[in-house]
Amino acid sequence: MFRPSTRSDVSPFIAMDVLAEAAKLEAEGRSIIHMEVGQPSAPAPKAALQAARTALEHGRLGYTEALGIRPLRTALAQHYRRDYGVEVPEDRITVTTGSSAGFNLAFLAAFDAGDRVVLTVPGYPAYRNILKALGLVPVELAVGSETRWCLTPEHLEEAQKDGPIKGVLVASPANPTGTMMTGDALADLVRYCDAHGIWFISDEIYHGLDYAEDQKTALEISDNAIIINSFSKYYCMTGWRIGWMILPEQLVRPVERLAQNLYISAPEASQIAATAALGSVQELEAVKAGYVSNRTLLLDGLPKVGLDRLLPVDGAFYVYADISRYSSDSLDFARKLLHQTGIAATPGVDFDPLNGHAFLRFSFAGAHEHMKEALVRLSDFLD
Ligand SMILES: Cc1ncc(COP(=O)(O)O)c(C=O)c1O
């Protein structure tokens, strides 16, 4: 009689299941190298920690405006001016509890139940699961090496034949592939969406972590684009659950009303800390330099141990490796890798129900010494 709803029947996030299994082995005394979750090992910037401490000691932490505290919204507007040369009115900036809340707010504000929304495969699994839970229809389009793992207007043209598309969600740099769209490819896609009345949602959570391409925000191309971003990755603040959105004018009030009702406001302490984090560029660039050397190490070392089919790692902190030479079951391969070597990595099936069985994602957000050790263990395992 008392059953869970059908809408709650979404897939688990396998990366988190791998993390749980790795934690169990660690508790038994095994040495584990965590390359499964996309989480910086560095703490939040010092200024952010200090601002939070001061707020805790002197402040009464309370609810804030649903759209976020004014100093943070002002600092975010400055960030767009300084880093992208784009003027954004503060009133179009809203603070969220991580980008995860941003997706919920964007989907609810822009779409009605039953609307079709395009995603790339491979892609971040929560997009599809949130859409499903909200009664929306994910239209998953496979991307591959022929378009450098990016979505193009031609993909959308094809998908429109099966019914109207109401939205497109793209991440650049992407998870799990780490690939980035060129400025021209992004502009083509955004302009296509604008011309066809399709909401373009740009997940820019990995901005700041670019190694090959110059990053561009979709905001530079269209004021209709919905920008979602977060303090979790570049700013090393996953646990603070804080992010932001830049909204088209007509979505500001709907998102404000939804946020007021769904969670009232983002935690005030996190908002205060995030404001300080935006000024900590020097410290964060030092963390990024660590990713750069991990990336170089793996791009050089993985082919030598037998993993030579890697996607272009333009940004983020992931290597998406083709393991088909060794296995056609990435879940089983990841399990064996974990149990035999202590390396925790995420099976591709998390990101790609079609071809993910042939891929494994390695996160290189961890310590350099751990990456070196991982190469040694992988070499023995794949031998
Ligand atoms: C592409 C992408 N978007 C969004 C998120 C969610 O991040 P958060 O809610 O911490 O901002 C992640 C987390 O790994 C991600 O990889």
CA dihedral (149, 155, 156, 161) positive or negative: negative
Sheet containing 359-363, strands listed edge to edge, beginning at the edge strand earlier in sequence: 318-322, 359-363, 346-347
Distance separating alpha carbons of residues 84 and 129, to the nearest angstrom: 32
Average pLDDT over residues 360-380: 95
Nearest to 358 by CA among 325, 319, 312, 313: 325
* CA of 38, closest atom in ligand 1: 14
Distance of CA 24 from the midpoint of ligand 1 (Å): 24
Phi–psi pair at 203, nearest 5 degrees = -85, 105
Residue by residue, DSSP assigns 6-29 as: GGG-PPP-HHHHHHHHHHHHHHTT
Average pLDDT over residues 284-310: 95
Sequence-ordered list of residues with C-beta below 8 angstroms from that of 368, at least 6 positions apart, any chain: 290, 293, 294, 297
Distance of CA 362 from the midpoint of ligand 1 (Å): 16
Residue 109 pLDDT > 90: yes
This prediction has a pTM of 0.95
Where is 203: in which H helix or E strand? Answer: strand 199-203
Question: If you ran DSSP here, which 8-state letter would residue 236 be given?
Answer: -
* CA of 123, closest atom in ligand 1: 1
Distance of CA 225 from the midpoint of ligand 1 (Å): 19
Residue 311 pLDDT > 90: no
Structure tokens at 105: 């707010």
Distance of CA 242 from the midpoint of ligand 1 (Å): 11
Distance of CA 99 from the midpoint of ligand 1 (Å): 6
311 pocket-lining for ligand 1 (C-beta < 6 Å) = no
172 pocket-lining for ligand 1 (C-beta < 6 Å) = no
pLDDT tens, position by position, 221-264 = 999 999 999 999 999 999 999 999 999 999 999 999 999 999 99
* Residue 155: strand, helix, or coil: helix
Give percent of the chain above pLDDT 90: 90
Average pLDDT over residues 108-127: 97
Helix boundaries (H) for the chain: 14-27, 46-58, 70-84, 98-110, 125-133, 153-160, 183-195, 249-262, 268-277, 281-305, 330-341, 368-382
Residue 275 pLDDT > 90: yes
Nearest to 152 by CA among 185, 116, 107: 185
Three-state secondary structure readout of 63-128:
CCCCCCCHHHHHHHHHHHHHHHCCCCCHHHEEEECHHHHHHHHHHHHHCCCCCEEEEEECCCHHHH
Average pLDDT over residues 206-230: 94
* CA of 174, closest atom in ligand 1: 1
pLDDT tens, position by position, 222-233 = 999 999 999 999
Q: Of all protein residues, whose CA lies closest to atom 7 belonging to ligand 1?
A: 99
Q: Of all protein residues, whose CA lies closest to atom 14 belonging to ligand 1?
A: 38
Where is 362: in which H helix or E strand? Answer: strand 359-363
Distance of CA 179 from the midpoint of ligand 1 (Å): 16
Provide the CA 33 distance to its chain's centre, in angstroms.
Answer: 21
Distance separating alpha carbons of residues 329 and 175, to the nearest angstrom: 20
271 pocket-lining for ligand 1 (C-beta < 6 Å) = no
98 pocket-lining for ligand 1 (C-beta < 6 Å) = yes
Distance of CA 100 from the midpoint of ligand 1 (Å): 6
Cβ atoms of residues 122 and 178 within 8 Å: no
Give the residue, 17 or 133, on which the prediction is more confident: 133
Sequence-ordered list of residues with C-beta below 8 angstroms from that of 15, at least 6 positions apart, any chain: 36, 37, 38, 346, 350, 361
Cβ atoms of residues 296 and 310 within 8 Å: no
Average pLDDT over residues 321-329: 95
pLDDT tens, position by position, 345-365 = 999 998 999 999 999 999 999
